[in-house]
Amino acid sequence: MTSSIEHRTINVNGINIHVAIKGPENAPVILFIHGFPQLWYSWRHQIEALSSLGYRAVAPDLRGFGDTDAPAEVTSYTVLHVVGDLIGLLDVVAPNQESVFVVGHDWGALIAWHLSLFRPDRVKALVNLSVLFNPRNPSRKVVATLKAVYGDDYYIIRFQEPGEIEAEFAEIGTEKVLKEFLTYRTPAPLFIPKGQGFNGKPLDTPIVLPSWLSEEDVKYYTSKYEQKGFTGGLNYYRNLDRNWELTAPWTGAQIKVPVKFIVGDQDLTYNSLGAKDHIAKGGFKRDVPFLQDLVVMEGVGHFINEEKPEEISKHIYDFFQKF
């Protein structure tokens, strides 16, 4: 299915970025931004669907992932670096399009919120999946707050110390780690206690793949993560406090682009960090005033664009058709 996708390497912002592209040359661009632990490949279904409907799908491996360069310094993975990469990429692949459509998932959603915050002039409309826009709290740093709420075994806290979780993942094995992440569908915060499986289950617990994830899919992810390692992706989490410091000028700023937000009710993100409350009490709509559509999909987990590819592609198409 992915054979007719064009793969290019483009040098922007001081690094080589691998990007998958499909669709008519001058068609409106949709920029797809993946999360962790994923790659451009997580958008394979949407690339096919949207390119066949008259859009040009552009899906990079973000810095640190897949076939894109991974700078050595932890500090090279802030939201400013990554948004800078994407602006540079758009200047090359869509030079005649002042603004483009954007779709983000997980960390990609977080990057898409920041792209919309920093450069709303470049975003025609946004469909974000899974991760809400959480405005910067000027009085609370991110990591200490998460630690106070969820403790030391919370996955984001376990990711903070460079090299530590990488060594544990190496012991468990790349394929097993990826299967653990990709099949995770507990509607609750994720904990990774040292020496145990996800949420403390025994490491030798067999993993059954869901119907939407094939062994072939896992093999592709595994080959890229074995080649690259997890460090690049983990470095995004290691910059949460640095992002908090760098984004101080945008304290109180709203997301001023048209938005559709979609989340599964079994998604860990929807069931932690007060997400439901934030939506119900109007905080999300206050921070994202041009939110036009909010969809909660029943019985769907975190990896929503892979689990429900046809529905997500239709949601994207229906929304972008308005513009």
- The set of catalytic residues is 106, 237, 302
Q: Please give the backbone phi and psi of residue 117, each rounded to the nearest 5 degrees, phi first.
A: -75, -45
Nearest to 302 by CA among 49, 77, 42: 42
Helix (H, G, I), strand (E, B) or coil at 123: strand
183: CB partners within 8 A, 6+ apart: 207, 208, 209, 210, 213
The CA-to-CA distance between both ends of the chain, in Å, stands at 29
Q: Mutual orientation of helices 215-228 and 174-182 as an angle, nearest 10°?
A: 120
Contact of 254 with 290, CB cutoff 8 Å? no
56: CB partners within 8 A, 6+ apart: 21, 22, 23, 24, 25, 26, 27, 28, 29, 30, 94
For residue 37, whether the previous peptide bond is cis, meaning omega lies within 30 degrees of 0, is yes
CA 68 to each of CA 32, 93, 174, 180, 187: distance values in angstroms, whole numbers, following the listed order: 15, 16, 19, 24, 32
